[in-house]
């Protein structure tokens, strides 16, 4: 397939590189020039505009948040209308279900298809094809692009409603946000009792919760606590915010979501505290 990739950041570059190496033609665009360096020269072309990237069978957006996706797809020339009829747009960004519905409606009006394809996994999983992709959208569109998505990892089809995949992604990020919050409190308590938090982290990650998320976050938080409780921003709070909004729309009682959301809103701002563009921790997505 001819695949446009819009957004060549931490996740976008390994995604574009892996798809290109699988034999697909890549039209790559990034708002900051020069990010296409390192893509296979025989199968990837750096295009000058996002509109050129949409002259493809499939366009994948890997952008930071709702604002970035809206700015590219709707503002400054309405990118959706520049795509060819029959184009499929797969958005792999962590966006709200509200925006997913807006994108689906706009693409349908343009004779195109929209698939929400948020991903779970770090950049090295994208590079090695070990992502988990939660796909939502028309079954025919999902199946048409499945061979490309499966180059990146396992595809879990959630629903024909694209927004449902985004709810799954935000719910997953909410769970990881609770891991950060609970580990941070537990580390502070054991450290206050004179226990090396790194020893406690070993118990947690080897016996109680032997999973990659706990292992990575537990080691990081333990090291920071041992160094005097240096602050670690919670990079998953955007998922909490999205879950709180979805729960309110649905009339669902979600006390823990609301509690963490309220607590995070009341905290003094720290770099990365919104979960956007934070360097710590960067491994789980």
Q: In whole angstroms, give the CA distance from residue 95 to residue 13.
A: 19
Catalytic residue among 2, 102, 169, 238: 169
**Dist CA 69 CA 62 (whole Å):** 9
DSSP category for residue 84: P
For residue 284, give every residue at least 6 positions away whose Cβ sits within 8 Å of its Cβ, in sequence order, or none.
Answer: 120, 121, 122, 176, 212, 213, 216, 217
State how far the Cα of 193 lies from the Cα of 70, in Å rounded to an integer: 49
DSSP 268: P
CB–CB of 63/40 below 8 Å?
Answer: no
Instruction: Please count the helices (runs of H) and the strands (runs of E) in the chain.
Output: 11, 9
Please give the distance of CA 114 from its chain centroid, rounded to a whole number.
17
Check: CB of residue 79 under 8 Å from CB of residue 29.
no
**2 is an active site residue:** no
Contact call for residues 156 and 120 (beta carbons, < 8 A): no
Catalytic site positions: 169
């Amino acid at each position: 397939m001819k695949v446009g990739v819009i957004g060549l950041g931490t996740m976008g570059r390994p995604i574009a590189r892996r798809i290109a190496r699988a034999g697909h033609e890549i039209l790559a665009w990034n708002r900051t020039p020069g990010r296409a360096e390192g893509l296979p020269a025989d199968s990837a072309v750096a295009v000058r505009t996002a509109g050129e990237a949409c002259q493809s069978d499939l366009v994948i957006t890997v952008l930071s948040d709702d604002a970035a996706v809206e700015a590219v797809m709707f503002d400054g020339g309405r990118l959706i209308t520049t795509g060819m009829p029959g184009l499929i747009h797969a958005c792999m960004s962590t966006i709200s279900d509200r925006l997913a519905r807006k994108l689906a409606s706009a693409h349908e009006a343009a004779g195109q298809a929209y698939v929400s394809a948020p991903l779970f996994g770090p950049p090295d999983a994208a590079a090695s094809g070990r992502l988990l992709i939660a796909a939502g959208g028309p079954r025919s569109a999902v199946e048409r692009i499945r061979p490309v998505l499966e180059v990146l990892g396992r595809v879990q089809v959630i629903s024909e409603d694209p927004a449902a995949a985004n709810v799954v992604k935000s719910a997953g990020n909410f769970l990881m946000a609770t891991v950060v919050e609970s580990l941070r409190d537990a580390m502070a308590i054991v450290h206050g009792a004179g226990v090396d938090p790194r020893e406690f982290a070993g118990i947690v990650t080897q016996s109680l919760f032997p999973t990659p998320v706990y292992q990575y976050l537990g080691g990081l938080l333990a090291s920071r606590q041992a160094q005097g409780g240096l602050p670690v921003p919670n990079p998953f709070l955007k998922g909490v915010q999205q879950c709180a909004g979805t729960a309110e729309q649905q009339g669902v009682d979600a006390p823990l979501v609301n509690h963490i959301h309220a607590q995070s809103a009341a905290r003094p701002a720290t770099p990365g505290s919104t979960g956007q563009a934070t360097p710590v921790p960067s491994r789980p997505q």
